[in-house]
């Protein structure tokens, strides 16, 4: 990635933009804030933290599916007496449909959800060493009354990386 200073970038932008009409700026470029610390002045980098074992998403899915299938098998085994009693009063297909819809299927979905949540151990979020440069485009159409407030508001933001603001006037 190229490291371009704000002045070099402004000169490049000025060369690439068409010349504005008389008395109307085509673009306004704000340099990065002088008060924000640069990436090099934030202190020494932190020592590498211990690496935690991270299980892939496919392995987590397989483990959650295996756990939910085991729960379903146990549920079916435990519900067999209930299905036998219900099958005597109605038919076997109706008993399987009722018990499966009331207990087995919801139990399998809940077991999969709980197992998936228990197996989910995401790695810790890494802090950025340097933030990328950002260009903010502001389209200005009949904005004479409020464009100054908009630019001041953008200049007061606290993005830690370099940023520039381009105000694009369409000649209105």
Model pLDDT for residues 90-142, shown as the tens digit of each residue: 899 999 999 999 989 999 999 999 998 888 877 677 888 888 999 999 888 88
88 sits in which H/E element:
helix 57-89
Q: State residue 51's pLDDT score.
A: 56
pLDDT at 4 over 80: no
Instruction: Give the 3-state secondary structure of residue 129.
Output: coil
**Model confidence pLDDT, tens digit, residues 37-70:** 554 445 455 555 555 667 788 988 999 999 999 9
23: left (phi over 0), alpha (psi -120 to 50) or beta: left
Name residues whose C-beta falls within 8 Å of residue 139's C-beta, 6 or more positions apart in sequence. 168, 170
């Amino acid at each position: 990635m190229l490291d371009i200073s704000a002045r070099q970038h402004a000169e490049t932008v000025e060369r690439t933009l068409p010349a504005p009409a008389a008395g109307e700026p085509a673009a306004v470029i704000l340099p990065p804030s002088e008060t924000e610390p640069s990436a090099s002045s934030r202190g020494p980098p932190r020592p590498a933290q211990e690496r935690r074992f991270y299980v892939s998403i496919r392995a987590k899915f397989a483990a959650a599916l295996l756990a939910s299938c085991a729960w379903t098998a146990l549920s079916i085994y435990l519900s067999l007496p209930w299905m036998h009693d219900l099958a005597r009063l109605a038919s076997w297909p109706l008993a399987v449909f009722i018990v499966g819809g009331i207990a087995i299927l919801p139990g399998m979905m809940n077991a999969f959800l709980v197992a998936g949540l228990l197996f989910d151990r995401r790695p810790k979020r890494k802090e950025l060493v340097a933030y990328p440069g950002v260009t903010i485009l502001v389209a200005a159409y009949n904005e004479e009354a409020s464009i100054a407030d908009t630019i001041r508001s953008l200049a007061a933001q606290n993005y830690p990386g370099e940023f520039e603001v381009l105000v694009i006037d369409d000649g209105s």
